[in-house]
């Protein structure tokens, strides 16, 4: 997934990225929601909503959603799978 940091992931790296995404999601799913790190430089800081969270969030993996409420892992997975099926790079802008 580090390949995405510069903004472009080549098509031939997508299978590895999908495996990494699956692994990251599984690891986050093993953690409680309160394991969220909001500010890695100041671990005492929490999210702006405090300790309140949506009732459906039972693991840390469920904490990552898009602004319109979609599961971020699913959105990234769909983008990677679509790019793989078209044999094209993934670009984030």
41-83 residue pLDDT tens: 988 887 767 676 666 778 888 888 898 989 999 999 999 999 9
Domain count, the chain: 1
Range of the domain at 12: 2-91
Average pLDDT over residues 17-29: 95
Round to whole Å and give the CA distance between 73 and 57. Answer: 14
Instruction: Kindly state the percentage of the chain with pLDDT values over 70.
Output: 88
The values of phi and psi at residue 91, to 5°, are: -125, 135
Window from 10-24, 56-70, 77-91 with minimum mean pLDDT: 56-70
Q: Is 90 left (phi over 0), alpha (psi -120 to 50) or beta?
A: beta
């Amino acid at each position: 997934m580090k390949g995405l940091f510069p903004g472009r992931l080549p098509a031939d790296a997508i299978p590895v990225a999908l495996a990494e995404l699956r692994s990251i999601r599984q690891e986050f799913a093993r953690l409680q929601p309160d394991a969220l790190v909001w500010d890695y430089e100041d671990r005492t800081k929490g999210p702006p909503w405090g300790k309140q969270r949506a009732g459906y969030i039972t693991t840390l993996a469920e904490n990552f959603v898009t602004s319109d409420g979609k599961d971020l892992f699913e959105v990234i997975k769909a983008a990677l799978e679509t790019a793989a099926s078209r044999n094209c790079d993934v670009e984030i802008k």
